[in-house]
Amino acid sequence: MRIVMTASEAVPFSKTGGLADVVGVLPQAIARLGHEVAVILPRYRMTSVSELHIAIHSLTIPLGRKLHFPMVLEGPRQDGVRSFFVEYPHYFDREALYGTPQGDYPDNAERFALFSRAVVETAKILFVPDLLHCHDWQSALVPVLLNTVYAGDPAFRKTGTLFTIHNLGYQGLFPPNTLENIGLGWELFTVEGLEFYGKVNFLKGGLVYSDYINTVSRKYAQEIQTDEYGFGLQGVLRQRSAVLTGILNGVDYTQWDPATDSFLVAHYTPEDLKGKRACKKDLLEQFHLPAKDLKRPLVGIVSRFTVQKGADLIAEVADVLTQEDFYLVALGTGDAEYEALFKRLAEQYPKKMAVRIAYDNALAHKIEGGADMFLMPSRYEPCGLNQIYSLKYGTVPIVRATGGLDDTVEPWDPASGAGTGFKFSEYSGQALLDTLRKALAAYQDRAAWQRLMRNGMARDHSWEASAREYVALYQKIVGMKRAAAT
Ligand code: ADP
Ligand code: GLC
């Protein structure tokens, strides 16, 4: 099959979160299974790519009354995957991808409408696919365009579409007159179309117009059909439940493996865990915590400090937490309120708690390597990658049982010696506290703890299995599309 994958970010070119990890690695895994894959991304200021050449000098993209002429650049092939970049400095040569701490860029609708249309044009000219795979709201207009503006286009008669939800909390909501600025007709502004409580909803467009929908864990695929997790789109998702499924993300073990991780001061394996001690010492030093007491458990956090990630739960019990005997190191950026909370804790308890308000990949690796436990009390979590890295690093995850966290962490049972971590269901500070205390107590039994570490380290979440599931789904969609086209 020929697949075009499109999203707003992908490693190694650009990244703000887990989406980039997925779109950076899944295409290669699919190519390894014998398919032709091309990835189309915007070219931002932060995009790091060498050896670009011009693939298309100028596309003509009408948006509202204006015509825009982006260029398309081709980057190097990576493991057989072609990469194209939509070059339009007016929209993409900016400090950040989506906005600054002051807020989203006011022209995000136009930026990603232009991008989506450029994706369709690029596919048409350079790489007509059997399947177009789009991710999140930034590329959600692609299936909308194929079913409206490009509806009669013979090039795409047999092209199927898959839309992957990585996070329902970000939908791309804009005022109604946006439609005029992005080259779509008012007839789409209906409850069956893009309208959502008086606004234009890009993500909803993806849900309504794609042939198939998936999300990044099975549990989340179910959760989003409920009022609690549906962000107002549960009705639409329930209507489409026959074509909605969940495929768990894989992770890239060439980057995340304590046996080879170049960011760690020592390496370790399930057979020989010794190196983890040196990693712990190094981590404490990185955070200027006293590295004398290596027996005291060290809990790590790498996160966006937002309500999604359970920052409010941590805030709720922060001061009680500090009475327990453990170190806490936290790395992240996010809402000012939670950044301030972590800073306050670090100031008040300088021998136990430390925080780095930053986006720092090297430090993220050191936390996975050096911590004993990894805390991820998310309110909702479509998949979550850090807890999967943690399993591989023998860094026992403590999670809330939601979405991908629930699908990847099995509760530790000291009686049978089975399980990989600790989890709680109720979204409350007390439940978090109880579970953390349970983990701290379990840590005291060194032999049992090592077994728990090894259980997690033995789990295999490499991309291959997930890529096979995606290919099977692609085949199903392409089959459906061909049957409908004949
Ligand atoms: P999300 O995409 O919702 O933020 P995920 O767990 O799927 O959550 O992915 C987060 C990714 O971003 C991981 O690769 C993680 O290591 C990385 N990450 C998040 N915050 C930071 C940070 N402050 N510094 C370095 N890496 C980070
Ligand atoms: C989103 C989700 C996260 C998921 C990632 C990659 O950012 O918040 O749970 O792991 O996408 O799919």
- Tens-digit pLDDT string for the chain (486 aa): 999 999 999 999 999 999 999 999 999 999 999 999 999 999 999 999 989 999 999 999 999 889 999 999 999 999 999 999 999 999 999 999 999 878 999 999 999 999 999 999 999 999 999 999 999 999 999 999 999 999 999 999 999 999 999 999 999 999 999 999 999 999 999 999 999 999 999 999 999 999 999 999 999 999 999 999 999 999 999 999 999 999 999 999 999 999 999 999 999 999 999 999 999 999 999 999 998 889 999 999 999 999 999 999 998 998 898 899 999 999 999 999 999 999 999 999 999 999 999 999 999 999 999 999 999 999 999 999 999 999 999 999 999 999 999 999 999 999 999 999 999 999 999 999 999 999 999 999 999 999 999 999 999 999 999 999 999 999 999 999 999 887
Q: Is the dihedral of CA 264, 266, 268, 273 positive or negative?
A: negative
Distance CA 34, CA 409 (A): 32
Q: What is the pTM of this model?
A: 0.95
14, 24 contact by CB (below 8 A): no
Residue 352's pLDDT is what?
A: 94
To 5 degrees, how large is the angle CA 410–CA 412–CA 418? 85
Q: Which ligand is nearest to the CA of 367?
A: 1
Give the closest residue (by CA) to ligand 2 atom 11: 166
For residue 329, the 8-state DSSP code is: E
Contact (CB, 8 A) for 396 and 456: yes
Going from the Cα of 65 to the center of ligand 2, the distance in angstroms, rounded, reads 36
Q: What is the pLDDT of residue 102?
A: 85
Helix (H/G/I), strand (E/B), else coil: 187: helix
Measuring CA to CA, which residue among 119, 48, 35 is closest to residue 79?
Answer: 35
> Does residue 246 have its Cβ closer than 6 Å to ligand 2?
no
Ligand 1 center to 478 CA (angstroms): 33
- Name residues whose C-beta falls within 8 Å of residue 89's C-beta, 6 or more positions apart in sequence: none
CA–CA dist 94, 401 (Å, integer): 38
Cβ distance 184 to 154 under 8 Å?
A: no
Distance between Cα 302 and ligand 1 center (Å): 7
Measured between alpha carbons, how far is 51 from 178 in angstroms, rounded to an integer?
A: 36
Counting from 1 in the atom list of ligand 2, the atom nearest the Cα of 382 is 9
pLDDT value at residue 292? 83
Tokens of 408: 């990847």
CB atoms under 10 Å from CB of 292, counted, come to 9
Calpha distance 16→9 (Å, rounded): 8
Of all ligands present, the nearest one to the C-alpha of 301 is 1
**Ligand 2 pocket, residue 173 CB under 6 Å:** no
Check residue 262 and give its pLDDT.
98
Span from the CA of 347 to the centroid of ligand 2 (angstroms)? 31
Amino acid identity at 306? T
**Selection from 2, 477, 479 nearest residue 247 by Cα:** 477
Q: What is the pLDDT of residue 291?
A: 87
